[in-house]
């Protein structure tokens, strides 16, 4: 056999060199399912306001826990890398950019120094086993004005007694109350279409002028087996509260309370469209307040009008299933 024949035979018997898996047309064909899931996830984030509420209030449910959808992004990233799919990696840019656009600003510390008016709100839980210690913990926050929700009539005197040394003025209307270091005027219930009182307004006479304080506890959102995520009563109450706020003549206003919804929830638009979130403007992180043991959503809100938020934070846990939240603003 000649040398040329020997070389030809060697080439014929050799194993062809493998194309690296990150090269060639395969990287575009693999991971189509992962890419499709990434696109759907990104579209949900971008178009969450268009998700229908007709079936089980799906839109509001998604908006309540919208930040948590971001946890799917690293999962999809791992899947794309395992599949060595360029298509999936490119598709992942859509949910990643959408999430950063929606919530990236909350990852930075926007709190500042200064301010001259501190407020706090706490759903104390009607079944709180130690209301006295909860009242003392809220008083220790140093807030000028404190709002409490879920005050059972027979337990309200416990809070009144334990807050009296810190707050000279207070008003309890139904199951909500407001305590203030400054004089209160024109305290009265606000009708939020509940059949009983779960909201109030009062004027706080601060050294820098009057501030209208609203305290509200909107109805709870329910998840029912046969109806899904139901929030009709909460939504009706939000509309009534929004109307009351729109008619408020005092220019400087603060809303404190458990709204049973996040700032992303479209159903709270009658309220959120008129006010500015202290947490969104001057918080550090997401400021989740519920449930207290493992907070997943901020449904306890502090919102203002005619004042500038300076800082916002959550307070240490009490015996309630909610965390207290506080904010400092500049009048």
For the residues of 135-187, what is the DSSP string, one character each?
HHHHHTT--SEEEEE---TTTHHHHHHHHTTT-SEEEEETTEEEEESS-EEEE
253-270 mean pLDDT: 94
**DSSP code per residue over 95-107:** HHHHHHHHHGGGG
Reply yes or no on whether the pLDDT at 103 is more than 70: yes
131-143 mean pLDDT: 97
**Cβ proximity of 204 and 184 under 8 Å:** yes
Reply yes or no on whether the pLDDT at 11 is more than 90: no
- Tens of pLDDT along 27-71? 888 899 999 999 999 999 999 988 887 776 788 888 889 999 999
Alpha carbon distances (Å) from 297 to 18, 67, 85, 131, 162:
50, 9, 34, 24, 29
Reply yes or no on whether the pLDDT at 164 is more than 50: yes
State residue 277's pLDDT score: 97
Q: Which long-range contacts (CB under 8 A, 24 or more apart) does 167-171 make?
A: 167/139, 171/200, 171/202
Start-end of H helices in the chain: 3-13, 26-29, 32-46, 58-64, 72-83, 86-91, 93-103, 131-139, 156-163, 232-246, 269-272, 278-282
**Cβ proximity of 299 and 260 under 8 Å:** yes
Share of the chain above pLDDT 90, in %: 78
Reply yes or no on whether the pLDDT at 17 is more than 70: no
Distance of alpha carbon 146 from alpha carbon 178, whole angstroms: 6
**Of residues 14 and 302, which shows the higher confidence score?**
302
Sheet (strand 184-189) strand order? 184-189, 199-206, 209-217, 253-258, 300-305, 276-277
For residue 296, give the nearest of 59, 66, 60 by alpha carbon: 66
99-116 mean pLDDT: 92
Confidence of residue 15 (pLDDT cuts 50, 70, 90): very low
Distance of alpha carbon 4 from alpha carbon 110, whole angstroms: 76
Distance of alpha carbon 297 from alpha carbon 299, whole angstroms: 6
Q: Which CATH superfamily is domain 117-330 in?
A: Endonuclease/exonuclease/phosphatase (3.60.10.10)
What is the distance of C-alpha 92 from the center of its chain? 25
Confidence of residue 227 (pLDDT cuts 50, 70, 90): very low
State residue 23's pLDDT score: 62
Q: What are the φ/ψ torsions at residue 9 (nearest 5 degrees)?
A: -65, -35
Confidence of residue 240 (pLDDT cuts 50, 70, 90): very high
**Cβ proximity of 248 and 209 under 8 Å:** no
Distance of alpha carbon 266 from alpha carbon 258, whole angstroms: 16
Q: What are the φ/ψ torsions at residue 186 (nearest 5 degrees)?
A: 50, 45
Q: And the tokens for 27?
A: 């990287």
State residue 231's pLDDT score: 59
Strand pairing partners for 277?
A: 303
Parallel, antiparallel, or unpaired: how do β-strands 253-258 and 209-217 relate?
Answer: parallel
**In the chain, domain spans:** 3-106, 117-330
Reply yes or no on whether the pLDDT at 99 is more than 50: yes
- Tens of pLDDT along 277-320? 999 999 999 999 999 999 999 999 999 999 999 999 999 999 99
Reply yes or no on whether the pLDDT at 3 is more than 90: no
């Amino acid at each position: 056999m000649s040398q040329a024949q020997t070389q030809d035979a060697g080439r014929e018997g050799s194993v062809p060199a493998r194309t690296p898996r990150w090269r060639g047309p395969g990287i575009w064909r693999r991971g189509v399912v992962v890419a499709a899931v990434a696109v759907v996830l990104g579209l949900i984030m971008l178009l969450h306001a268009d998700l229908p509420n007709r079936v089980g209030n799906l839109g509001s449910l998604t908006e309540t826990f919208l930040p948590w959808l971001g946890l799917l992004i690293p999962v999809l990233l791992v899947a794309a890398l395992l599949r060595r799919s360029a298509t999936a990696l490119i598709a992942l840019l859509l949910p990643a950019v959408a999430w950063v656009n929606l919530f990236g600003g909350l990852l930075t510390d926007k709190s500042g120094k200064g301010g001259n008016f501190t407020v706090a709100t706490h759903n104390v839980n009607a079944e709180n086993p130690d209301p006295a210690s909860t009242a003392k913990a809220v008083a220790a926050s140093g807030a000028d004005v404190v709002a409490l929700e879920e005050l059972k009539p027979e337990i309200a005197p416990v809070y009144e007694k334990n807050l009296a040394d810190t707050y000279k003025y207070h008003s309890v209307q139904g199951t909500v109350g407001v305590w203030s270091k400054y004089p209160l005027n024109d305290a009265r219930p606000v009708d939020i279409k509940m059949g009983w009182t779960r909201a109030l307004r009062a004027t706080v006479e601060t050294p820098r002028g009057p501030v209208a304080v609203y305290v509200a506890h909107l109805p709870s959102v329910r998840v029912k087996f046969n109806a899904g995520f139901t929030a009709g009563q909460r939504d009706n109450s939000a509309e009534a509260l929004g109307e009351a706020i729109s008619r408020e003549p005092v220019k400087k206003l603060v809303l404190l309370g458990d709204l049973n919804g996040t700032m992303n929830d479209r159903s709270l638009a009658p309220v959120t469209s008129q006010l500015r979130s202290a947490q969104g403007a001057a918080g550090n992180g997401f400021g989740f307040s519920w449930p207290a043991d493992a907070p997943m959503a901020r449904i306890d809100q502090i919102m203002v009008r005619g004042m500038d938020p300076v800082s916002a934070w959550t307070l240490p846990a009490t015996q309630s299933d909610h965390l207290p939240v506080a904010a400092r603003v500049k009048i």
